[in-house]
Chain A
Amino acid sequence: MRARPDTRGRAGRRPFYDLLMNVDRRVIFLVIAAAVALPLVFPLHLPVQISPEARAYFDEIERLQPGDQIILSFDYEPDTMAELDPMSYATLRHAFRKRLSVIALTTYAGGPGIALRVLGETAAEFGQQYGTDYVFLGYNPDYSATILRMGESIQATFPTDHFGTPADSLALLQGIDRYADIELLVSISASALTEYWIIWAGGNYGQRIIAGNSAIQAVLIYPYYDSRQLSGFLGGLKGAAEYEKLIEHEGAGLRGMDAQSMAHLLIVCFIVLGNVGLVMQKLRARGDAAGRAGSAG
């Protein structure tokens, strides 16, 4: 570990700003853990307001009629499932409640395991039948080629579904072979995949798209929403919470908001603490310099 400069003053004590700026990191880890864990065990039920983009996401699905087809792309892996699973669950609950036909797929190799779990649980909840109410086409390597190829033929892109059943034998896919046959595409993504759906499916084929994005990706999506290339989106766990509130089903998103609030407040306090220490250090240095100049003169 790097040696800390000796800032002890004449009294042999470390100045207060030094303590402020050098809290042991394991203390920070413990405090963060407590800030996240305690609200999960003792909820505060802080109210959640709905953002315009989340409402637009909800409205896009709400306007569809029973039997309309949507594509749901699980564009994420287990590393970000804490943020995106709540969106996937809520989207499928909304879609199945409206009796929409869901064509699920994934552009990530880690996606099938996630999709099987989420689809299985929500389909069972709503009594949906595989093959007629929903299908899972599985994973296709090379996302760009997959997105573009689907514009020409979905069944050529996915000759079989994830379970090996020929695509042309699935009841739901009868007469469905291009983006033009799909009412809405939903991309739940932790990466730039949403942008690629917008560029190739939206741009080349005019597909209407909404997206659920991890927080890190969501901040990059705003220009596309502003330009109406994206019809609505959910940003991070807060976005999931907003959507859960709209569909009136409490899930992991809403349950996590208290912990999210407390953790953010704590991190802001840490940042303020560090900067207060910096200001005190600068004032001390200025005072010492003035003192030395005075004694020299």
Chain B
Amino acid sequence: MDWSILGMWVAAALTLAVFSLLYRDNPFYRAAEHLLVGVSAGYYLVQYFSSGVIRKFYVPVFRQGDLWLLPGGLLGLLILFRLARRTQWISRYAIAFYVAAWSGYLIPSTIQERVLTQVGATLPPALSGAGFGAFLGAFIILVGVVSILIYFYFSAPHTGVLGRISQIGITFLMVGFGASFGYTVMGRVSLLIGRFQFLFQDLPRTLGG
């Protein structure tokens, strides 16, 4: 029994079951959808347990003797108190730990990389004067970034000069959203191409075609 060929035909049947939703909701689609939920849940549970619990806690603590990781296990156990309403408050310590830690290391890095570096990339090219085309492009980026940031300033009404600059910002935003729309269509169509490649190119090979 060639399990991989059987698997391809099972995959094809399930693919068509999901596609059947396009006509209308039906029991085949529902069954396939619930099977996906169950199989995915089982898959992810195994992954989280083997990587989060076994590899990141059990192996370092009990096989390598790194006791500094014990608090991590304790905090992880605190999360489980979330299951009962009366003890939910205990899980707040673990949640506060996680969210606050993330907030702490996020602040300096993202200010540096997403704000300062991005601002730095906007100003100098516009002022460098390296060829008219490059200057024009950099100037467009500069005008766009500044006008969008002014548009996002909602502490003053968008009237007068502020209003006119905000309108320029909105214009740039519309072009950006249009580009995002174009790429979104591209992305979704690509996913469909992938499934059709499987059905029309890969699957026929199992028949010797």
- Give A contacts to B, CB under 8 Å: 26, 29, 32-33, 36-37, 40-41, 79-83, 85, 109-110, 112-113, 138-141, 144, 148, 158-160, 195, 198-200, 202-204, 214-216, 218-220, 223, 226-229, 235-238, 252, 255-256, 259-260, 263-264, 267
A-chain residues with CB within 8 Å of residue B179 when the two chains form the complex:
219
Which of B86-94, B161-169, B196-204 faces chain A? B196-204
Determine if B73 is an interface residue (Cβ-Cβ < 8 Å): no
In the bound complex, do residue A237 and residue B109 qualify as a contact, i.e. CB atoms below 8 Å apart?
no
Which of B27-35, B52-60, B77-85, B150-158 faces chain A? B52-60
CA distance A218 to B141 in the complex (A): 18
Taking the closest CB of chain A, its distance from the CB of B1, in whole angstroms, is 20
A–B Cβ pairs within 8 angstroms, 26 of them: A36-B192, A37-B196, A37-B200, A82-B192, A83-B194, A139-B47, A141-B56, A144-B105, A144-B106, A159-B55, A159-B59, A199-B109, A199-B113, A214-B190, A216-B184, A216-B187, A227-B118, A237-B186, A238-B186, A256-B194, A256-B197, A260-B189, A260-B193, A263-B192, A264-B186, A264-B189
B-chain residues with CB within 8 Å of residue A263 when the two chains form the complex:
189, 192-193
Known contacts: A109-B44, A148-B105. The answer to whether A259 contacts B187 by CB under 8 A is no
In the bound complex, do residue B186 and residue A199 qualify as a contact, i.e. CB atoms below 8 Å apart?
no
- Give B contacts to A, CB under 8 Å: 22-23, 43-44, 47-48, 51-52, 55-56, 59-60, 64, 102, 105-106, 109-110, 112-114, 117-118, 120-121, 141, 179-180, 182-187, 189-197, 200-201
Partner of B183, one of A139, A141, A218, A227: A218
B-chain residues with CB within 8 Å of residue A255 when the two chains form the complex:
197, 201
In the bound complex, do residue B193 and residue A203 qualify as a contact, i.e. CB atoms below 8 Å apart?
no
CA distance A86 to B201 in the complex (A): 15
Q: Which residue from chain B places its CB closest to the CB of A198 in the assembled complex? A: B113
In the bound complex, do residue B183 and residue A40 qualify as a contact, i.e. CB atoms below 8 Å apart?
no
Taking the closest CB of chain B, its distance from the CB of A49, in whole angstroms, is 16
A-chain residues with CB within 8 Å of residue B109 when the two chains form the complex:
199-200, 203-204
Taking the closest CB of chain A, its distance from the CB of B192, in whole angstroms, is 6
In the bound complex, do residue A227 and residue B191 qualify as a contact, i.e. CB atoms below 8 Å apart?
no
Known contacts: A218-B183, A227-B117. The answer to whether A40 contacts B200 by CB under 8 A is yes
CA distance A153 to B44 in the complex (A): 26
CA distance A148 to B117 in the complex (A): 19
In the bound complex, do residue A252 and residue B189 qualify as a contact, i.e. CB atoms below 8 Å apart?
no
Taking the closest CB of chain B, its distance from the CB of A256, in whole angstroms, is 4
Taking the closest CB of chain A, its distance from the CB of B64, in whole angstroms, is 7
3 tightest A-B CB contacts, nearest first: A82-B194, A227-B121, A215-B187
Taking the closest CB of chain B, its distance from the CB of A171, in whole angstroms, is 20
Counting chain A CB atoms within 10 Å of each CB, the highest count among B43, B121, B190 belongs to: B190
CA distance A220 to B51 in the complex (A): 30
Taking the closest CB of chain B, its distance from the CB of A97, in whole angstroms, is 24
B-chain residues with CB within 8 Å of residue A40 when the two chains form the complex:
193, 196-197, 200-201
B-chain residues with CB within 8 Å of residue A226 when the two chains form the complex:
121, 141
Partner of B51, one of A138, A144, A204, A215: A138
B-chain residues with CB within 8 Å of residue A260 when the two chains form the complex:
186, 189-190, 193
CA distance A39 to B96 in the complex (A): 53
In the bound complex, do residue B201 and residue A140 qualify as a contact, i.e. CB atoms below 8 Å apart?
no
B-chain residues with CB within 8 Å of residue A109 when the two chains form the complex:
43-44, 47-48, 51
In the bound complex, do residue A140 and residue B113 qualify as a contact, i.e. CB atoms below 8 Å apart?
no
CA distance A218 to B189 in the complex (A): 15
Taking the closest CB of chain A, its distance from the CB of B107, in whole angstroms, is 11
Known contacts: A203-B109, A229-B113, A236-B183. The answer to whether A83 contacts B55 by CB under 8 A is no
CA distance A138 to B185 in the complex (A): 32
In the bound complex, do residue B190 and residue A215 qualify as a contact, i.e. CB atoms below 8 Å apart?
yes
In the bound complex, do residue B191 and residue A83 qualify as a contact, i.e. CB atoms below 8 Å apart?
yes
Partner of A141, one of B48, B185, B195: B48
B-chain residues with CB within 8 Å of residue A41 when the two chains form the complex:
200
A-chain residues with CB within 8 Å of residue B114 when the two chains form the complex:
195, 199
Q: Which residue from chain B places its CB closest to the CB of A108 in the assembled complex? A: B47
In the bound complex, do residue A140 and residue B183 qualify as a contact, i.e. CB atoms below 8 Å apart?
no
Known: A144-B106, A159-B60. 18 other contacts (CB 8 A): A40-B201, A41-B200, A83-B187, A160-B59, A200-B109, A202-B113, A203-B113, A203-B117, A215-B184, A216-B184, A220-B180, A223-B118, A256-B193, A259-B189, A259-B193, A260-B189, A263-B192, A264-B189
